[in-house]
Amino acid sequence: MSASIWCRVLLLALLLNTAAGCGYHLTNSQSHRLSSAQKIWVPFFTNESISPTAQTVLRRAFYDEFHALRGLTPADSEVNADLSMKARIISYSSKVVSYSSTDKAQEFSLALHVELEIVKKGAAAPLWKGQIQGSKQYPSNTNLALQRNAEDQALDAAARIIAHKFISALEATY
């Protein structure tokens, strides 16, 4: 190899070595990262919406996402939990978002708006508190049973979106 190539390789190695030891680190060593050793309590949510099943679907989605994404296990009661949630379903809506050429509903959008709070055992202040919205589109169907099934699947998907956004927001808070 020529001297100029050796010089470039050496310069690149020196630059990488200098950048690696620049001292960058997280500013908060006590992040809100959830660990698999924790147990969580997710009660039935206060439901101010028109959907009688939204609270059950949302609760199941939170348990599933906490376990799938972070390995948390459900606590058998609030007393035995490391983390405890509170939630209020503010609204549930389903509206037409597209029509066919014959002016019939072709696709709907389901939106779920939730107020959430999570508290660590023994702490007075919540780790995170805020509102999150999730939505999912689903197809229209002339068969009422298939239409209802599609809406139920959209509700489940919107609930999982909310749970995922909640976990991300909790861990991103410093």
pLDDT for res 19: 56
In 3D space, the residue among 42, 77, 78 whose CA is nearest the CA of residue 163 turns out to be: 42
- Residue whose C-alpha is closest to residue 144's, from 134, 136, 152: 152
3-state secondary structure of 23: coil
Q: For tokens 């976990």, what's the residue?
A: 167
Cβ–Cβ < 8 Å for 50, 92: yes
Mean pLDDT by 10 residues, the chain (174 residues): 73 64 48 74 92 94 93 92 94 95 94 95 92 97 95 97 94 74
pTM recorded for the entire structure: 0.78
Rounded to 5 degrees, φ, ψ at 38 are -85, 150
Q: Are 38 and 82 in contact (CB under 8 A)?
A: yes
How is domain 34-172 classified at the architecture level of CATH?
2-Layer Sandwich (3.30)
pLDDT at 2: 75
